[in-house]
Structure 1
Amino acid sequence: MITIEKSERLKNLPPYLFKEIDRQKDEVKKRGVDIISLGVGDPDMPTPPHIIEALQKAATDPQNHKYPSYTGMDEFNNAVARWYRKRFNVSLDPAKEVVTLIGSKEGIAHIPLAFINQGDIALVSSPGYPVYNIGVQFAGGRSHLMDLKKENDFLPDLSAIPDDIAKKAKLMFINYPNNPTSAVATEEFFKDVVQFAHKNNIIICHDAAYTEMAFDGYKPASFLETQGAKEVGIEFHSLSKTYNMTGWRLGFAVGRPEVIDGLGQIKSNIDSGAFQAIQIAGIAALDGDQSCVDEFNLEYTKRRDILVDGLTGLGFSVKKPRATFYVWVEVPKGYTSAQFTSLLLSKTGIVVTPGNGFGSAGEGYIRMALTVGQERMKEVVERIRSVEI
């Protein structure tokens, strides 16, 4: 029998903060409690039929059964460029400024491997999508955390980053509309980021997965709309949330050609590209009628209003989000994020995500995803109403 020892990179991973939640969830299920999960950001509505039909047709073509291009089909990259021009009025060269991803998570995890050396620094938001920090760690770098605070509208305070850290940093990860806080960025903030990047020679990696999930007429901007942005970085996008395609694993990165090329080099050595039939379905999604996106957002708006209005009526401090399908809720006084998450699960069968699971600066909050229908969302409010807090 050989001895199995995990690598240092795995040993050094942050602890799995949701392990206790999973244990409690199993216990609650065993009691026969009806679980309502608002914990995972996975859309519950199906992928639109025209996208599924495009996949079905493409999957029968033997030409699509071969190895795909490492960096994406020309046709898909061209569709990405068309979509960016139409949606954001941003011009892209599909041959140099677009790379296809097996979901944006894959690209986000791999980008540090292209630019981070042992001991290098990346600027990472806290709270934030855990993959930013983990990708940096896997590449041998270290993260300097930029705390997102309520008093700063959950935007990082660039002036609070020490000069010596800024000068050493290679990458900065930002994400707006934001997961988990649902905050949105201002034009002024993006301008400040571009100026900061130029001053300190930092590559900006903007995670724009939620730009199409917006409400009340609000249209989130692309970072690349900002003058000079394409000179300093790239933007990650995904079809997952926009078209309810989380399981399909298709996304893309766009922007500075040298950065796109570096990411493409990593991908060509690690993966073999996205299945062409799925890329063809992606073309149907990007080029097709976008009314399905409007319909999804209308449904999310109704769910948001039920949940936020209900929680506000119960005395919770919560701001109605303008984008994403997350609601960022302050926990009642006297509770930590983990304690309140545990209370909701054990007393009501409602699963939420503790804010500290996204970084220490998320302590004091929970994240609730709008991933159940309106009637179930009403039930969420009523179950919480029944609990003595």
Structure 2
Amino acid sequence: MVFAATDVIRAKRDGQRLTDDQIDWVIDAYTRGEVAEEQMAALAMAVLLRGMSGQETARWTAAMVASGEVLDLSGVRRPTVDKHSTGGVGDKITLPLTPLVAACGAAVPQLSGRGLGHTGGTLDKLESIPGWRAELSMPEIRARLDDVGAVVCAATAGLAPADRKLYALRDVTGTVESVPLIAASIMSKKLAEGVRSLVLDVKCGSGAFMKDLDSARELATALVGIGTANGLRTSALITGMSTPLGRAVGNALEVAESVEVLRGGGPPDVAELVVALAREMLAHAGLSDVDPAEVLADGRAHETWCRMIAAQGGDPDAPLPTARHVEHVTAAESGVLARLDAMAVGLAAWRLGAGRARKEDRVDHAAGIVGLVEPGGRVEAGQPLLELHTDRPETLPAARAALDDAWTIAAEAPAPPPLILDRIT
């Protein structure tokens, strides 16, 4: 069926539910250029203001999937399962999680992206490994899943092209915050991957897009609803992001920390979340009899990591980039580190060069921040709290300014909140 774009816009503007045919047509016509950018911008704003039902959002997502190709994983011998995080500060979970789940017997096709702003990108982190390449063809993706059971790479251009266009439009039209459009954007790419099941890590807190538990639950519920409506076994964990995850924030620094976790060590919060998400993924894949904590501890996950990196041209034993300039930020008083704000740390790492302001910017793979004291830890006046890494010393004043109100030192620290706040199915 063919519609007039203005009629679709008016329908949503007036609070009507869009029909399946209207949604299918507008997404297809926009992808082909028949619906103008200003018309889709008006429709996106109407969706932001009026919302969409679960049925509308699921259909919108399916239409975006149908705008391109779907990765055919039917020939992969292992059960396929993926994980998606809504993004945070120090969120390097994909790096140890993907080889861990593969070492437990599943196939994990992790199609990832690059960072923008204060949240890091998985591909940026892995590209700090000498020789590693993100761009793979579909036959290469399938081959890596058969050989190793794990692949982390860039999404191919043919997957959900409607989302690529709409994502860029939302970014410049003030419509990023729409929960239905956020959910459809995430899930269209995941559905196009062709996996059988999906686990979502929805971040909640100062360093996340969703600042409070209610909004995180709203997004998680929308994501799970879309997956279920489209035949994908889906669940979500809502996890805390008011404090940076782990100690390291920055590309090569986070790779090094991930390798620590894969060797059985690393920060306890990172290891805890990796194992929790692995258990969720393995349950979806029908492999709940495998204990991921045991596989992490005995070295099998690290062995799979080395094979995964080497299969994409990287050298897992090569030295990672290190910054030419390292400075400390110290405590002004003695006490207990009661608070370390994730957003402030993420912004400071971005200013040091760990992130990008525009998609075309290059990142400094060695830049970032290392926390030297965990929240709840005792500190003395003059003791280093944070380590700032950069190749560009001129960035240090701006990074320090971002950290002006990043922490609180008190006589005692409150009880730490749980890392996993809720589970949505």
**TM norm. shorter chain > 0.5:** no
Greater relative CO, 1 or 2 (CA 8 Å, sep 6+): 1
Relative to the length of structure 2, the TM-score reads 0.30
